[in-house]
Structure 1
Amino acid sequence: MSAAPEHLLLLLLLALLVLQANGACVELEPDTEAVANEGFKLGCISCKMRSEVRAVASVNWSFKDPDKNDFSPMYRYSDGAGVIMDERFADRLNWRGSKKTKDLQDGSIYITNVTFQDKGTYLCTFSRKLIYTETFHLEREYKKEFVMNVVPRLTRSLASILSEVMMYVSIIGLQVWLVVEMIYCYRKIAAAGEEALRESATEYLAVASESKDNCAAVQVAE
Structure 2
Amino acid sequence: MATCKNGSCWTPAMLLLLTVGFCSPVCVEVPSGTEAVQGHNMTLLCISCMQREEVYAITNVEWYYEPPDSSGNKSLIYRYDGKPRETLGSQFKGRLLWIGSKDLQDVSLILQNVTITDAGKYFCHVNRTLHFEAHQHSIQNSVTIDLIVTEAANEDFTSVLSEIMMYILLAFLTLWLLIEVVYCYRKISKSEEVTQESVTDYLAIPSENKENCSVPVEE
TM over 0.5: yes
* Deviation readout 1:103-133 (Å, 9 max, x if unpaired): 5211101111100000000100001101112
Counterpart of 1:114 in structure 2 is 114
- Between 138-147 and 155-164, report the one with greater CA deviation: 155-164
Counterpart of 2:200 in structure 1 is none
Give distance in 2, aligned partners of 1:114 and 1:61: 17
Contact 2:86 2:96 in 1 (8 A): no
Contact 2:86 2:93 in 1 (8 A): no
- Does residue 74 in structure 1 map to residue 73 in structure 2? no
Per the TM alignment, residue 163 of structure 1 is displaced from its structure 2 partner at its CA by 5.3
Counterpart of 1:126 in structure 2 is 126
The alignment's TM-score, normalised by the length of structure 2, stands at 0.63
Contact 1:62 1:74 in 2 (8 A): yes
Contact 1:63 1:73 in 2 (8 A): yes
Q: 1:3 aligns with which of 6, 14, 38?
A: 6
Contact 1:39 1:114 in 2 (8 A): yes
Give distance in 2, aligned partners of 1:27 and 1:78: 21
- Does residue 83 in structure 1 map to residue 96 in structure 2? no
Percent of pairs with identical residues: 33
Counterpart of 2:64 in structure 1 is 62
The alignment's TM-score, normalised by the length of structure 1, stands at 0.62
Q: 1:53 aligns with which of 52, 55, 59?
A: 55
SS at match of 2:52: coil
* Deviation readout 1:55-97 (Å, 9 max, x if unpaired): 1101100001111022111111121232224520011111011
SS at match of 1:89: coil
Q: Which runs of 5+ in 2 are unaligned?
A: 11-16, 171-219
Contact 1:95 1:110 in 2 (8 A): yes
Q: Which runs of 5+ in 1 are unaligned?
A: 8-13, 173-222
Q: Report the number of matched residues.
A: 159
CA distance 1:162–1:92, shift in 2 (3 Å): same
Give distance in 2, aligned partners of 1:159 and 1:4: 46
Give distance in 1, aligned partners of 2:114 and 2:19: 40
CA distance 1:46–1:139, shift in 2 (3 Å): same
4+ residue runs over 4 A deviation: 14-17, 163-166
Counterpart of 1:96 in structure 2 is 99
What root-mean-square deviation, in Å, do the aligned CA atoms of Structure 1 and Structure 2 show?
A: 3.1
